[in-house]
Amino acid sequence: MDYVAYLASFNSAAEKGELLQHYTPDARIEGANGVTPLDEFAEQLRDARDGVRVTAVPITVLGDEDSLMAELDITYTASRDRPDHPVVPLRAGESVTMRFFSVYELRDGKIARFSRAYWRR
C-alpha cells in the first residue's frame, strides 16, 4: 500500500470515492462504536468534511505488505459553525487537533481492516 498516496486522498477536498479506492469492498472499519460498514464509513467521512477542512499529518508509520500502524495528528478546521460535528463541536474559524492511532490490515495492497482510536491533543 502506498500510504503517501492514501494520505493525499484523505487530505484531498475532492470526492471521497478516490479515498475509498484504497479499501477492499468488504473492508471492516472498527472504532469505539464497533464495526462500521464501508458505505457508512464513507458517509461519516463526508459528514466530517461538511464545512470542515480535515488534514492528517503522519508522526510515525510502521509496517509491511500485510499491515501498517500509524500515529497521526488530524486537524479539523471549520469554515462554518458545526455544533453537530461527529468528532467535536466546532465554531467557524476554530481548529482542533486529534491524535489517532490507526491499524490497517492489508489484502492485495488495499485496506481490508481499519481500526482506530483517537483523543483530543
What is the residue-averaged pLDDT of the chain? Answer: 92
pLDDT digits (tens, 9 = 90+) for 7-45: 998 888 666 678 889 999 999 999 888 898 888 888 888
Q: What are the phi and psi torsion angles at 66 (to 5°)?
A: -105, -20
- pTM equals 0.88
User: How is the chain split into domains, by residue range?
Assistant: 3-120
Interval 57-75 mean pLDDT: 96
> Regarding predicted confidence, which is higher, 46 or 109?
109
Pick the CATH number of 3-120 from 3.40.50.620, 2.40.50.140, 3.40.50.300, 3.10.450.50: 3.10.450.50
